[in-house]
Amino acid sequence: MQPDDLSRILAPKLGENLLVVEPFDGMAGRVRFRREGALELFRIVRDELTFTHLSMVGGIDWVDHREVFYVAWSDSVRQYVLLSTDVPATDAHLESATPVWPSANWHERETWELVDVTFDHHPDLRHLLTPDGYVFHPLLRSFKLHEPEELEVKSRHV
Partner 1 sequence: MSEMWINMGPQHPMTHGLWNLRVRIDGELILDADPEMGYLHRGIEKISEDRHYNEVVTLMDRCCYVAGLAWEHLYVLASEKALHITPPERAEYIRMMCDEFQRIGSHIMWYAAFVQDIGLMSPFLYGMRDRDLVLDLFQSFSGARLTYEYMRVGGVRNDLPPTFTGHARKILDWLEQRFREYDQLCLGSAIFHKRCDNLGVLKANDCVTHGITGPMLRSAGVKRDLRKDRPYARYDAVDFDVAVADGADVTGRYLVRMEEMRQSIRILRQVVDWLEQHPGPVMADQLPRWLGAPYAPVGREGYLLKRNYAKGVGFSSVEEPHGEAQAYVVNEGSEHPYRVKFRSPVFANLAAVRQYLVGYRVADIPPILGSVDVCVGEVDR
- Decide if 72 contacts 83 (C-beta within 8 A): yes
Residue 17 near partner 1 by CB under 8 A:
no
Binding mask 66-105 for partner 1 (x = CB under 8 A): ---x-x---x--xxx-x------------------xxxxx
The span of 3-11, 21-29, 35-43, 85-93 binding partner 1 (CB under 8 A) equals 21-29
Q: How far apart are CA 118 and CA 126, in angstroms?
A: 11
Q: Shortest distance, CB of residue 57 to partner 1, whole angstroms?
A: 9
Least Cβ distance, residue 103 to partner 1 (angstroms): 3
Q: Are 10 and 41 in contact (CB under 8 A)?
A: yes
Judged by CB under 8 A, the chain residues 99 through 138 that form the site for partner 1 are 101-107, 114, 127-131, 138
Burial of residue 52 (number of CB atoms within 10 Å: 0-12, 13-18, 19+)? middle
Nearer to partner 1, 15 or 138 (CB): 138
Residue 46 CA to residue 28 CA, distance in Å, equals: 14
DSSP one-letter string for 116-135:
--EEET-TT---SSSPTT--
Residues that bind partner 1 (CB under 8 A): 24-27, 52-56, 58, 60-61, 69, 71, 75, 78-80, 82, 101-107, 114, 127-131, 138-139, 143, 145, 151-154, 156-157
